[in-house]
Amino acid sequence: MVTITKAEADRLFNRLQLRHTVATRNDYGKVTGFRLFIEGRLRNPDNLGQFSGKKHLGYRQYWHRRCAPALDAALLETGWRYAPTRRKRITLHAQTWNLYDDAGLAVALKPAEDALVRAGILQDDGPESGHVITKTQERNRKERGIWITVELL
């Protein structure tokens, strides 16, 4: 769960230059989802050749350092207060230099998916969890990164 204060979240937003964080609300004003853009370079670590185990680890750590504070700050900013076990629809939309095939996209977005579990948004990212996780992509060479959209089902 979120363990930072509002002042710390403001500092994170300034340091990370988080943009496009938007909360969606129902008719009663309650937060039912949010959307967040995290800037960064996506790669397929499977295509990095020899010693790919170390490269996988470095790639996961790179995205964990980007996603963890951004998700914590977004949760605090939007007021997200739902249990990880509640069913959600997650959309991970990659903006990449070149498009990936389906397997490459899954590997490239896996660290962001794991960050959702670490942030306490999901209890598990497996198919038995009941969450619907969709991965999409587009070619955008000016603004590369991941759009993370979380909505209640």
Which residues touch 27 (CB under 8 Å, ≥6 apart)? none
Angle of the 6-16 helix axis to the 52-78 helix axis, nearest 10: 130
Which tens digit of pLDDT belongs to each residue from 85-99? 899 999 999 999 999
Which tens digit of pLDDT belongs to each residue from 90-128? 999 999 999 999 999 998 999 999 999 998 899 998 888
- Interatomic CA distance for residues 17 and 5, integer angstroms: 18
Predicted pLDDT at 51: 54
Enter the DSSP assignment of 27: T
Residues of the chain with pLDDT under 50: none
Predicted pLDDT at 10: 66
Closest Cα to residue 147, out of 20, 2, 16? 20
Predicted pLDDT at 153: 87
**What token pair was written down for 122?**
């999901």
- Interatomic CA distance for residues 56 and 46, integer angstroms: 8
